Structure 1
Amino acid sequence: MFLALFIGGLIGYSFGRFPGLLIGAIVGYILAKALAHKLRQGIFRVQSQFLESTFSVMGAVCKADGVVTQDEIQVAETLFNRLRLSGEQRETAKAAFRRGKEDDFDLDNELNLLLRVTRGQSALLQMFLQVQVSAVGADGEVHPAEHEMLVHIARKLGIPEAQVDQLEAMLRGARSGTAGGGPARGQQLADAYKVLGVSESASDAELKKAYRKLMSQNHPDKLAGRGLPESMREMAEEKTREISHAYDVIKDARSSN
């Protein structure tokens, strides 16, 4: 706002000295207010479409294996609470979820709408994909048909297919927590490498670089500035915790060798 006043005043002063300075400052203020209003409208539109698409696609993905389980319905209900949706928003989300379960639901069209409104911002789209993976993994497993749909969604959104494996690994890591040794520990370590998107042969420097890049890309403040609904901040924070956990698992494993 101050910058707009300064620039407007400076331009006005160059044409009309002090009267021009005053007029230029006023014009700059009006333009700044109009721009701020337009930006707020744009972010609101992104947030509204993001939530609408989140729950409609969730309904479609949950039905991919032929049946929507009670666990998957419970995840949707839990999300309503976690996102602190208002009564009206909750009803909109429920309607979207039901719409996604319909046989004639146009998945690709819904994804195209999401792509347009988010302008293809990868961090937002990855958060969208994360929510879908969490939903279908609610019953303890990701059915092959659900996995294939998740891969289709990723491709449609321009997200590498490996991101689906990464998010599924993140989901398993969140469940396993600090589970003990043996095969379970080996799976946890393998999943940790998938979460960070590096191979087990990566150097410590490469590992740290991948970790810092993911933490920067998924910072809740950055995502909010790009249109992520404030109600989804908790999920963004959860993802950064899971990334940190994966990094700690790998560091602990390497230090013990």
Structure 2
Amino acid sequence: MGIMGKVVGGAIGFALGGPLGAILGATFGHAYDASNQLDRTGFVDSPMSHTESSQFTFFVATFSMLAKLARADGRVSQAEIDTIRQFMIYDLNLPPESQQIAMNIFQTALDSPQSFEEFASQFFGQFHGQPQILQLMMDILYRVSVADGELNAAEERILTTASRIFGIDDSHYRSHASATKESDTDRYYKLLGCSRSDSEETIKKQYRKMASDFHPDKIIAKGLPEEFVKFANDKFKDIQEAYEAIKKERRFS
């Protein structure tokens, strides 16, 4: 059972403060007390474990930030709503109950007074010591932003804002704006954080690090919700595919 199933089923309680707590309170119909004392992660006293709290933050933050991404150009089209639903179904494999909760969070966040920056900052407060989790959130934001085949200026500004708050070099994401002009192998190098001029040993070392950092079991233990297992597996497969393609091109074992 994923983290949202546990909450709905009453297996655990929750108390989330900060801007994400405001979204959560409105979504679930709970009163939100802004005077609650928060710790640096944005949580008030809660019966959840630290891992469950992290998973909960990731889930709520994902669909809150995606809402502001969709609203970046001032309007939200039906095509963008459909993109979010497709992401839930095909990229995440969310069960119907979790899809409904995710869409409720998304709809609540769309017209909320909280900004993307506020959501991203609270997310960073929870995961600032876990760069893999921050990277996965960037991957999610990017994947949804280009689902229609292009990256518009408003979406690119959101990605740049996220990368600044998360402390991530955004050159990888900015480069995707012209991805159609690159070869597959060029993209593979960028996915591994390498360049064509790197030595075989450097590439191997970087691959081993990324394969370890992004192993699904490891990042789930760090706070990735169970609902995002498929996304984590896909990321891991992309890393392996990139390395195998580079090995084949450069003919090393």
Normalising to structure 2: TM-score of the pair? 0.71
Q: Which residue, 73, 83, 94 being the options, matches 1:84?
A: 94
Q: Distance in 2 between matches of 1:134 and 1:59?
A: 14
- Aligned partner of 1:202: which letter? D
1:127 aligned to 2:123? Answer: no
Alignment of 1:47 with 2:55, yes or no, is: yes
Partner of 2:251 in structure 1? 255
Gaps of 5+ in 1: 1-37, 173-182
Q: Residue type of the partner of 2:136? A: M
Structure 2: unaligned runs, 5 residues or longer: 1-45
- When Rg is computed on C-alpha atoms for both structures, the one with the higher figure is 1
Superposed displacement of residue 146, structure 1: 0.8
Aligned pairs for 1:1-257 within 5 A:
41-81=49-89, 82-85=92-95, 87=97, 89-102=98-111, 104-165=113-174, 168=176, 187-255=183-251
SS in 2 for 1:139: coil
- Summarize the Cα distance change of 1:121–1:39 in structure 2 as closer, same or farther, 3 Å threshold: farther
**How far apart, in 2, do the equivalents of 1:199 and 1:115 lie?**
28
Q: Distance in 2 between matches of 1:199 and 1:145?
A: 29
The aligned amino acid for 2:209 is: K
Distance 1:39 1:236, change over 3 A: farther
2:193 partner amino acid: G
Percent sequence identity is: 28
Equivalent AA in structure 1 for residue 240 of structure 2 = S
CA RMSD of aligned residues (A): 2.6
Q: Conserved in 1, the CA contact under 8 Å of 2:57 and 2:123?
A: yes
Q: Which has the higher contact order (CA 8 A, sep 6+)?
A: 2
Deviates more, 1:138-147 or 1:214-223: 138-147
CA deviation after TM superposition for structure 1 residue 254, in Å:
2.2
Shift of 1:72: 3.1
Deviation at 1:40, TM superposition (A): 5.6
Alpha-carbon distance between aligned partners in 1 of 2:248 and 2:47, rounded to the nearest angstrom? 45
Contact 1:220–1:236 (CA<8 Å) still a contact in 2?
A: yes
- Equivalent-residue separation in structure 2 for 1:217 and 1:69 (angstroms): 36
C-alpha displacement at 1:134, in angstroms? 1.0
Count of residue correspondences:
204
CA displacement 1:191-224 (0-9 Å, x = unmatched): 1111111111111111111111111111101101
DSSP-derived class of the 2:49 partner: helix
- For residue 92 of structure 1, report the CA deviation from its aligned partner: 3.2
**Would the alpha carbon gap of residues 91 and 195 (structure 1) be closer, same or farther in structure 2, given more than 3 Å must change?**
same
* In structure 2, distance between residues paired with 1:103 and 1:47: 22
Whole-Å separation in 2 of the counterparts to 1:95 and 1:223? 26
In 2: Cα distance, 1:102 partner to 1:206 partner: 47
The alpha carbon displacement at 1:85 in A equals 4.2
Shift of 1:77: 1.2
Quote the offset at 1:39 in angstroms. 9.6
- Cα offset, 1:127, TM superposition: 1.0
